[in-house]
Structure formats: structure tokens, C-alpha cells
Amino acid sequence: MIWNKNKECMSRDELRDLQGKRLHKLVDLVYHNTPFYREKMQEMDLLPDDIRTIDDIVKLPFTTKADLRDNYPMGLVAAPMTEIVRIHASSGTTGNPTIVGYTYRDLEIWKEVTARALTAYGVTRGDIVSVGYGYGLFTGGLGAHYGVEHLGATVLPTSTGNTEKHIRLLRDLGVTGLACTPSYALYLAEALNKQGLTGADLKLRIGAFGAEPWTENMRREIEERLGIQAYNIYGLSEIMGPGVAYECGCKNGSHIAEDHFYPEIINPETGEVLPLGQEGELVLTTLTKTGMPLLRYRTKDLTTLMPGTCDCGRTSVRFTRILGRSDDMLIIRGINVFPSQVEAVILEIPEIAPRYMLVVDRKNNLDTLEVQVELRPDSFSDDMGSMLALKRKLSDRLKSVLSISAEVKLVEPNSLPRSEGKSTRVIDKRVLA
């Protein structure tokens, strides 16, 4: 099903025309209301009228997370404070947090795109959707919440924290939809099993998962264990929040709400725009936002844009599963390693629980990678030979996927830290040294 056929299935020519008009308006807005952009454009000898069509976008400057931090707290807000009706903030692990201000109209757009996503997953009126993203400064909770309401389905604002109560409500209310991080979905499946229950004891049928990278294997595991169809939802607070892009029933790439967010793929090192179909860093421009509009925001997410109309009928461009964030990327002995690659390997090995911790260190001037994994209780064997073979199987697979050798450490069941939000899976001791 399609929420807004007019926009989601627009012809490419019409869409490009609309994008160009919106971009022109946007540039005019930021030039006159955001000193940061005006200065940048003046440095580049650019006037708003130089941006006429969507192809002119390449003339505009990039925006980075560092720009947001440097202009903390509200330096990039284009609207007067009297127009800002909500503020979100992203967790800053280093330095200033990132603050985003929304106008009433921004929130209307956000609801619209989230409703598009939920509709693409098959959510309709009559569904009850439990939102297990954190409510608060993080955009996940409130973003999904208002999308469900806008669609006309019933929202259960569960938030994070009380898994036991969550399971109880899922059962008692016959909840049919679940929106949370994929790692929380697995945590929930595990908690269900601990109570002697399985996905068959619930009425859940649809899951909207995002806020962290996940893999096809993880999708299979979640779908099997909860008995649902699991879909990706993409978003980032700087741009809006969940709903920027979403999968459809085809589960073949995430559709970008292109009438609101214009995507480009660049070479992360040179900033050069790459041709369609090449892998690189996703860059997004908010075409319609008025609170804190951003030009060419570098998401650090690495992906590829897929051209062509999707089997679902949507014409909006899709991106492939995000390989990782250039932020999450670890460089170990000169090789790029993404935690999502490790995750994919672990999910292939049934004797090991779908959870891991990476410890990167430097010993004798050489980077080391330790992969800690939990043994599944029923896979434990008294035979030392088979336990060592299991370790070897995992380290061989890791070596072939990562191209570097990793030290595998088998740890006891349930001993790795559980996270109900974004999981912390990497300890890089090199930074501390």
C-alpha cells in the first residue's frame, strides 16, 4: 500500500522539477536566515539565484556534524524562536550534543513521511503499534509515535526499559506492530523465550527497525523468532528523524522520501559526487524543512543508490543496506573493518548467540582485534576438541570476511552487556593509550 501516491510515485521528470523549485526556495531561505550558510556562499561567490535546478546542487557547500557542533546550540536554526515548536538533541559522545529545532510545519512533514513508511510496511488503521524506541531527546520515540497516530493506527508508547511489562502488553492488547532498534527486537525475542513463550504467542506481524545498522541475517533471525515481517526504517535527527527512508514490501533497498530529502552519493575522501550506482557516503539536503534546514549534510553512512522504479510502484530512489557508518568504521592494521561485518558472520553460526563485543588494542605496535562472543548454552560440549573447533570455525570465517585475523574469545552465556537502545559493541583501547 502507498500512503501518498502523488509524491511517492511521481514521474522522475516531475520530481526533479519539484526538487529544483524546492531547492531554490531553500537556498533563498538559508542565505537570508542562516549566517553560517550566507558566509559560506559568499566565500564561494554564490547567490541564491545561481541555484535554479536540482543539478545546481553540486555548487553548494557541504554541511558536517562538526559544523553543527561548532554552531552549538542553535546557530544553524533558520526560523525565529517563535516558530520553533520542538527541539531534539542527539547523544554527543564527544563534544557538544547536536541540537535540532523543528517548526510546526517540519513536524507535519515528519509525520507524513513516517506514515508513508508505516504504510509501506503494511500498517493500517486497526493495527496497534508498540513504539519501543526511547522517548525524549532522541528522535526515534516521538518520530515513530506521531507517524503511527497520523496514519490512524493505535500507538502504544512503550519506550525502552521495562521489557517484562512490554511483553505483557504485547500479549494482552494483541499488539500487531513493533518499532524499535533491531538489537532490542532480538533482546525481546530472548526475553520471550525466557518466559517460555515464542513469537507464536503474540499477534505481532510487522516490525519497523532502525537507528542502528543491521544485516540480512539479523532480519531473518528477527523474522523467525518473532514471526513477523521486519523492515528497515532510516533516519537521522540532523535531517529529521525516522522516516527519511523506508523499505517497502519488496525488501530491496530503502526508498528515500525524495520530495523532502535530496540524496547524493559522494566519495568520502574527496567530496566528489559519484555516478548513480557507485558506493560512497550518503549526503542529504532537506528540501522542505524550515526550522533547521541543512544543505548537503554528510551522513557518514556508506551505501549505494539504486535507480529505477521499484516493483512496488514507487519511483523514489532507493539505497542499499547501509554497510556501516564511516564513523563506526575501524581501521585495524590498515584495513577497514565494520562491526556489521562481524555481526553477519556471527549470525551465520548457530552455536553462538547473536551478540558480540569488539575489543581493539595495540600490542607491541601491532593492532589487535578480539571478538568476544557468547556461547549458546545448548551448544556447550564437554569435548574440548569440538569447543576449539567452534572457535576456529568462527576465526576462519572472520578472517575470510574481514581480511585480518581476529582473536575469538568465547564467553559465558548472558555475560556480554545487553543494551535496550543503541548497542555499544566496540571498545577501542588504542584511543585511550
Partner 1 sequence: MTIKQLSVFLENKSGRINEVTKVLGENGINMHAFSMAETTDFGILRLIVSDVDKAVEVLRAKNFAVVLTDVVCICCPNVAGALAKILDKLAAHQIFIEYMYAFAQGDQANIVIRPSDLAECLKWLAEEDCRVLGDQQL
Judged by CB under 8 A, does residue 412 bind partner 1? yes
Judged by CB under 8 A, does residue 410 bind partner 1? yes
Q: Name the residue nearer to partner 1 (CB basis): 315 or 379.
A: 379
Q: Cis check for the bond before 242: say yes or no (omega within 30 of 0).
A: no
Choice from 14, 415, 424, 429 touching partner 1 (CB under 8 A): 415
Choice from 52, 165, 409, 429 touching partner 1 (CB under 8 A): 409
- What is d(CA 226, CA 179) in angstroms, rounded to the nearest whole number? 13
Q: Name the residue nearer to partner 1 (CB basis): 344 or 411.
A: 411
**Contacts to partner 1 from residues 271-300, by CB under 8 A:** none
In the complex, least distance from residue 224 CB atom to partner 1, rounded to whole angstroms: 22
Q: Name the residue nearer to partner 1 (CB basis): 267 or 381.
A: 381
Q: Name the residue nearer to partner 1 (CB basis): 190 or 223.
A: 190
Helices (H), 195-349: 216-226, 339-348
Of the candidate spans 44-52, 235-243, 262-270, 409-417, the one that interacts with partner 1 by CB under 8 A turns out to be 409-417
Choice from 53, 267, 405, 414 touching partner 1 (CB under 8 A): 414
Judged by CB under 8 A, does residue 387 bind partner 1? yes
Q: Name the residue nearer to partner 1 (CB basis): 169 or 387.
A: 387
In the complex, least distance from residue 164 CB atom to partner 1, rounded to whole angstroms: 17
Judged by CB under 8 A, does residue 418 bind partner 1? no
Judged by CB under 8 A, does residue 18 bind partner 1? no
Q: Name the residue nearer to partner 1 (CB basis): 72 or 380.
A: 380
Q: Name the residue nearer to partner 1 (CB basis): 326 or 379.
A: 379
How many residues contact partner 1, by CB under 8 A?
18
Q: Which of 284, 277, 278 is nearest to 300 (CA)?
A: 284
Q: What is the DSSP string of 244-259?
A: EEEE-TT-SSEEE-TT
Judged by CB under 8 A, does residue 411 bind partner 1? yes
**Contacts to partner 1 from residues 345-384, by CB under 8 A:** 375-377, 379-384
Judged by CB under 8 A, does residue 389 bind partner 1? no
Binding mask 112-131 for partner 1 (x = CB under 8 A): --------------------
Judged by CB under 8 A, does residue 53 bind partner 1? no
Measure the CA angle with vertex 222, ends 218 and 223; round to 5°. Answer: 115
Judged by CB under 8 A, does residue 392 bind partner 1? no
Cell match 549526503: residue?
283
Q: Name the residue nearer to partner 1 (CB basis): 131 or 352.
A: 352
In the complex, least distance from residue 413 CB atom to partner 1, rounded to whole angstroms: 5
In the complex, least distance from residue 183 CB atom to partner 1, rounded to whole angstroms: 19
In the complex, least distance from residue 57 CB atom to partner 1, rounded to whole angstroms: 52
Judged by CB under 8 A, does residue 32 bind partner 1? no
In the complex, least distance from residue 406 CB atom to partner 1, rounded to whole angstroms: 13
In the complex, least distance from residue 382 CB atom to partner 1, rounded to whole angstroms: 4
In the complex, least distance from residue 344 CB atom to partner 1, rounded to whole angstroms: 23
Three-state SS letters, the chain: CCCCHHHHCCCHHHHHHHHHHHHHHHHHHHHHHCHHHHHHHHHCCCCHHHCCCHHHHHHCCCECHHHHHHCCCCCCCCCCHHHEEEEEEECCCCCCCEEEEEEHHHHHHHHHHHHHHHHHHCCCCCCEEEECCCCCCCHHHHHHHHHHHHHCCEEECCCCCCHHHHHHHHHHHCCCEEEECHHHHHHHHHHHHHCCCCHHHCCCCEEEEECCCCCHHHHHHHHHHHCCEEEEEEEECCCCEEEEEEECCCCCCEEECCCCEEEEEECCCCCCECCCCCEEEEEEEECCCCCCCCCCEEEEEEEEEECCCCCCCCCCCEECCCCEECCCCEEECCEEECHHHHHHHHHHCCCEEEEEEEEEEEECCEEEEEEEEEECHHHCCCCHHHHHHHHHHHHHHHHHHHCCCCEEEEECCCCCCCCCCCCCCEEEHHHHC
Judged by CB under 8 A, does residue 388 bind partner 1? yes
- What is d(CA 8, CA 115) in angstroms, rounded to the nearest whole number? 12
Interaction site with partner 1 (CB under 8 A): 375-377, 379-384, 387-388, 409-415
